[in-house]
């Protein structure tokens, strides 16, 4: 379970105190500086995903006078967009995995591979196991966390078992490779996939993944069933594809909310039924990334309950509780009573990163940036043979009463020609300096 920022910082103090009381060498509460203080104003961006990478690259373009540091825990960038097709070798790995150091060199910022453990907002320090980095401006682009605690409480054995044996592959990193291997070796039986309750990252992507897996079973003649447990409403397009093309491969269960999971005995229960599975993709509820909880930047609803997502200004993306901190990407909380959250998409995260770069560049000069809203484009494949694609576009405007309004349009394309790869390539060119 998440500890609060205060608990975490107190924890560091307690560690130091216990170490000295048993005669161990003195441990100071302030770890060493990882970087010397800069003469220039420093922006630290935590999280090298779609939002953080975009922000770092655009900061270097729009404010070359600032010192920019990107901190990321993974050794390489893994793209979630395109990853479903990659599971079935429909996309080459060179589109999926990219080098952080090459991007940092191309744009001229400092890249640190490190997991940030805490933010000391009072002293403006980013804290890692190896030491601290000071900042004038902070960008937190840490994506989501998967709330296994909702299923297992603090049973770390069950959490580890579910995470490692039945990974969701819903966050950037090696889980995608684990899932790819599983699918390649699956010989038959019941493969279970539950969807998390809304809101979650990239809502159409689990359905796309279900179609992909069903198509793999069908085309490889695997005697397998994919059991899809869904607590949310499904789109008519996917309902049609599941029922018409994959009726022998997919068992789709609507109104299926998970009530218990036993990963050791491969059992999952909903309010109505207990399912046994041979293999699974287990997807717990999603929330804002861990660090935002430790930094004390999670929002509350009107009844005072945690929203599970960050609290920020919907236009400047400044954290509601800290004017030196900006928030980007899927971790954001609701932005409008008219539609709730911005789409939790890579495209939207990247546009928010660019907007935040403009905000910080202006504020560092003592100016104010003009308001700008993000947009989102998303390519979804309801089926793979023959390929069918839908482009989903979302646009935003501020209405006369000050509320943000969303216009969403879908463009079905029964004859696609790698438009998704072209889109991703142009995004990677923009924030990873990707060259083909
Ligand atoms: C299967 C799938 C398909 C998708 N398809 C599309 C698509 O077609 N189009 C689209 O636009 N979007 C798509 N998405 C959604 C897209 O991946 C996300 O919206 C996007 O990644 C959000 O960007 P982000 O920067 O907020 O988070 P992320 O990309 O998750 O980046 C967060 C980064 O922060 C790092 N981090 C977290 N905590 C720390 C810490 N404490 N210290 C250091 N580093 C840390 C993480 O390692 C990670 O690299 C898809 C998602 C999935 C799962």
Q: What is the DSSP annotation of 236-278?
A: HHHHHHHHHT-TTTEEEETT--EEEEETTTTEEEESS-EEE-S
pLDDT digit string (tens) for 257-313? 999 999 999 999 999 999 999 999 999 999 999 999 999 999 999 999 999 999 999
Closest ligand 1 atom to 77 CA:
49
Name which of 19-28, 212-221, 298-307, 365-374 the model is least confident about: 19-28
Tell me what pLDDT residue 82 has.
98
Tokens of 261: 């999971």
Q: In angstroms, what is the span from residue 39 Cα to ligand 1's centroid? A: 32
pLDDT at 67 over 50: yes
In order of 285, 346, 371, the CA distances from 259 in angstroms are 12, 30, 43
pLDDT at 197 over 70: yes
Closest CA to 257 of 240, 239, 275: 275
Does the C-beta of 118 come closer than 6 Å to ligand 1? no
**Are the C-beta atoms of residues 297 and 287 closer than 8 Å to each other?**
no
pLDDT-derived band at 19, boundaries 50, 70, 90: very low
pLDDT digit string (tens) for 305-344? 999 999 999 999 999 999 999 999 999 999 999 999 999 9
Closest CA to 317 of 51, 2, 44: 51
Does the C-beta of 201 come closer than 6 Å to ligand 1? yes
Closest CA to 110 of 71, 59, 138: 71
Does the C-beta of 358 come closer than 6 Å to ligand 1? no
State how far the Cα of 307 lies from the Cα of 298, in Å rounded to an integer.
7
pLDDT at 14 over 50: no
Closest CA to 284 of 423, 163, 141: 163
Tell me what pLDDT residue 12 has.
38
pLDDT at 2 over 80: no
State how far the Cα of 182 lies from the Cα of 188, in Å rounded to an integer.
11
Phi, psi of 386 (to 5 degrees): -70, 155
Q: In angstroms, what is the span from residue 17 Cα to ligand 1's centroid? A: 38
Residues of the chain with pLDDT > 70, as a percent, come to 93
pLDDT at 69 over 50: yes
Please state, as a whole number, how many other Cβ atoms lie within 10 Å of the Cβ of residue 183: 21
pLDDT digit string (tens) for 140-192? 999 999 999 999 999 999 999 999 999 999 999 999 999 999 999 999 999 99
Does the C-beta of 137 come closer than 6 Å to ligand 1? no
State how far the Cα of 45 lies from the Cα of 68, in Å rounded to an integer.
8
pLDDT at 138 over 60: yes
Does the C-beta of 280 come closer than 6 Å to ligand 1? no
Closest ligand 1 atom to 79 CA:
17
Q: In angstroms, what is the span from residue 220 Cα to ligand 1's centroid? A: 31
pLDDT at 3 over 70: no
Q: Which residues pair with 69 in a beta bridge?
A: 44, 110
Place of tokens 């997807």: 283
pLDDT at 29 over 90: no
190: helix, strand or coil:
strand
Tell me what pLDDT residue 15 has.
33
Q: In angstroms, what is the span from residue 413 Cα to ligand 1's centroid? A: 26
Does the C-beta of 347 come closer than 6 Å to ligand 1? yes
Q: Is the peptide bond before 408 cis (omega within 30 degrees of 0)?
A: no
The pLDDT of 193-219, averaged and rounded, is 98
Alpha-carbon torsion (329, 416, 211, 169), positive or negative: negative
Tell me what pLDDT residue 26 has.
44
pLDDT, the chain, mean? 93
Tell me what pLDDT residue 23 has.
36
Q: In angstroms, what is the span from residue 427 Cα to ligand 1's centroid? A: 14
pLDDT at 13 over 70: no
pLDDT at 218 over 70: yes
């Amino acid at each position: 379970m998440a500890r609060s920022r205060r608990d975490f910082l107190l924890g560091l103090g307690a560690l130091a105190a216990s170490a000295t009381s048993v005669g161990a060498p003195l441990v100071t509460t302030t770890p060493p500086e990882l970087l010397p203080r800069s003469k220039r104003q420093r922006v630290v961006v935590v999280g090298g995903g779609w939002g953080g990478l975009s922000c770092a690259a655009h900061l270097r373009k729009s404010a070359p006078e600032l010192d920019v540091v990107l901190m990321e825990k993974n050794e390489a960038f893994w793209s979630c967009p395109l990853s479903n097709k990659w599971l079935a070798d429909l996309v080459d790995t060179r589109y999926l995995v990219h080098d952080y150091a090459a991007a940092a060199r191309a744009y001229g910022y400092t890249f640190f591979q490190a997991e940030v453990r805490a933010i000391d907002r009072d002293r403006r320090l980013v804290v890692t196991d190896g030491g601290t980095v000071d900042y004038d401006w902070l960008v937190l682009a840490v994506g989501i966390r998967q709330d296994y605690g909702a299923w297992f409480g603090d049973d770390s054995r069950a959490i580890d078992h579910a995470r490692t044996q039945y990974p969701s592959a819903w966050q950037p990193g090696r889980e995608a490779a684990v899932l790819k291997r599983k699918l390649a070796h699956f010989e038959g039986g019941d493969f279970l996939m539950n969807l998390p309750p809304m809101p979650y990252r990239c809502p159409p992507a689990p359905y796309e993944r279900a179609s992909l897996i069903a198509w793999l079973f069908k085309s490889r003649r695997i005697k397998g069933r994919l059991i899809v447990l869904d607590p949310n409403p499904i789109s008519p397009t996917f309902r049609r594809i599941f029922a018409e093309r994959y009726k022998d491969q997919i068992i789709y269960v609507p109104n299926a909310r998970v009530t218990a999971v036993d990963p050791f005995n491969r059992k999952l229960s909903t309010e109505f039924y207990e399912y046994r599975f041979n293999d699974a993709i287990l997807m717990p509820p999603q929330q804002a990334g861990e660090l935002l909880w430790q930094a004390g930047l999670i929002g509350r609803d009107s009844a005072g309950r945690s929203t599970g997502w960050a609290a920020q200004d919907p236009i400047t993306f400044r954290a509601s509780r800290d004017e030196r901190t900006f928030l980007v990407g899927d971790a954001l909380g609701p932005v409008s009573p008219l539609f709730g959250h911005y789409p939790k998409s890579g495209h939207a995260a990247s546009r928010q990163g660019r907007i935040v770069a403009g905000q910080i560049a202006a504020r560092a000069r003592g100016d104010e940036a003009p308001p700008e809203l993000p947009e989102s484009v998303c390519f979804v494949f309801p089926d793979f043979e023959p390929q069918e694609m839908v482009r989903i576009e979302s646009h935003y405007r501020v209405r006369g009463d000050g509320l943000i309004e969303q216009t969403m349009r879908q463009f079905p394309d029964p004859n696609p020609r790698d438009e998704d790869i072209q889109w991703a390539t142009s995004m990677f060119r923009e924030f990873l300096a990707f060259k083909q």
